[in-house]
Amino acid sequence: MRECLKHPVFEIIAEIVAEDDLQAFVIGGYVRDLLIGRPSSDIDIVVLGNGIDLARKVAARIDKKMPVSVFKNFGTAMFRYGTDEIEFVGARRESYSHNSRKPVVENGSLHDDQQRRDFTINALAISLNRETYGQLIDPFDGLDDMERQIIRTPLNPDVTFSDDPLRMMRAIRFATQLGYSIANETFDAIVRNRERIEIISKERIADELHKIILSPRPSFGFMLLDQSGLLELIFPELAALRGVEKRGIDGHKEIFLHSIKVLDNICPHTKNLWLRWAALVHDIGKPATKRYSPGEGWTFHGHEFVGSKMIPQIFRNLKLPMSDQMKYVQKLVLLHLRPIVLAEDVVTDSAVRRLLFEAGDDIDDLMLLCDADITSKNADKVARFRQNYELVRRKLREIEEKDAIRNFQPPVSGNEIIETFGIPPGRNIGIIKNAIKDAILDGVIPNEYEAAREFMIQKAAELGL
């Protein structure tokens, strides 16, 4: 392993621990990623001694002015070296109480530190000591689990997950990111301990969900969340999409499977976390709008409106940001059927203008979502939709170039209406402004000041102003 330790900080650590008669090891995720050839910028160093002191000495040897962040309550310190974040901690053992995931921490051996790790693949360590420099320490067969592509806990999984229930989410997240399987006994323990997730903060759960959503194939993680019973506890609105009802020969598409397929579909085209969120929840309003009629079969009329209304509460429940990100997801959920309707019908300039007006700068993301929403197995149907979407895209470009509707503001302001007709603010101002907007979007007048002013005078006359 010596040849793998190319980072210059490792040699510096080796020099200092030799001088101070200490022992230090690089441990955890960095070792795992090093062995599988995965990029990593988080380096964890465990020392049989004081981690804070070692961090300060290493930082000073690199650069006397290098700042070191110290977290005395946790016995850790870290500094940045280039793009890498290097954290130091003393080896420790941990014990937990039933009602908290915060452990009681004591000094321990390297073995103690390794066995407190969540999974065997994260318990690997490499020596940074002169006599054994580069030696891999693998007491729980993590290397074998990496070769078998298995997620497994070093100790009894029931104890591991009961002590720190967030590890259940981490198991699913690592399986999703790495494309690994979860060992049967480990997954069974997740199922048995799933209720323990309730002691974990919503913020920590959301952080794991984000990492699953940002993985190459997030559907794998959401299937595991569903099969383990965690999904209904942490995200009941998504779990409610599960299942297909039949009436006679009529059955509707499995909404949960469709939603995670749409999420997978959009991933090769964007790393935008919130666009991926929109793909996941675009049909979240369907269970509330599901109806059956003998003539139509199963319908979900208005699910885009209901779904958009659900987004703020979902964001509150998961402690997601309630500002621009929430509004962005809400907008895409509300509008996700509009391009589909355009693609199925005659694409009029008026309809395209209104779509551009409502979507604004998010129109390209909306079209990506609509592309991802095509999950039919009927090749002819898929080809037809894609062809129609290209027509919609062409119309969007033409209208934007001609009318500059994206993020459109009416050329005549409310103040100008007030000053022109000498009237106080009130209902008539709104009527005239909306009439101008509709006239432009419907193509009655061009998006130009003179045409809008002339139309304003005409409308005001109709109102008797």
What proportion of the chain, given as a percentage, has pLDDT over 90? 59
**pLDDT tens across 168-191, in order?**
999 999 999 999 999 999 999 999
Q: Exposed, middle or buried, 166 (CB in 10 Å: 0-12/13-18/19+)?
A: buried
Least confident of 249-253, 426-430, 447-451: 249-253
- At 255, the pLDDT band (50, 70, 90 cuts) reads very high
Domain range list for the chain: 2-142, 414-462
* Residue-level pLDDT at 173: 98
Q: Stretch 315-331: mean pLDDT, rounded?
A: 96
User: 121 vs 417, which has greater pLDDT?
Assistant: 121
Return the axis-axis angle of helices 218-228 and 273-281, rounded to nearest 10°. 50
* Residue-level pLDDT at 403: 62
Which pTM was predicted?
0.85
CA 447 remoteness from chain centre = 38
* Residue-level pLDDT at 411: 80
- At 345, the pLDDT band (50, 70, 90 cuts) reads low
User: 341 vs 453, which has greater pLDDT?
Assistant: 453
**pLDDT tens across 1-41, in order?**
665 677 889 999 999 999 999 999 999 999 999 999 998 88
Question: Which pair of structure tokens corresponds to residue 212?
Answer: 């699953």
User: 225 vs 91, which has greater pLDDT?
Assistant: 225
The answer to whether residue 250 scores a pLDDT higher than 70 is no
Fold of 2-142: Beta Polymerase; domain 2 (3.30.460)
* Residue-level pLDDT at 455: 84
* Residue-level pLDDT at 99: 62
The answer to whether residue 286 scores a pLDDT higher than 80 is yes
What proportion of the chain, given as a percentage, has pLDDT over 70? 91
- Please answer whether residues 75 and 90 qualify as being in contact, where contact means their C-beta atoms are separated by less than 8 angstroms: yes
The answer to whether residue 344 scores a pLDDT higher than 90 is no
Q: Stretch 243-254: mean pLDDT, rounded?
A: 63
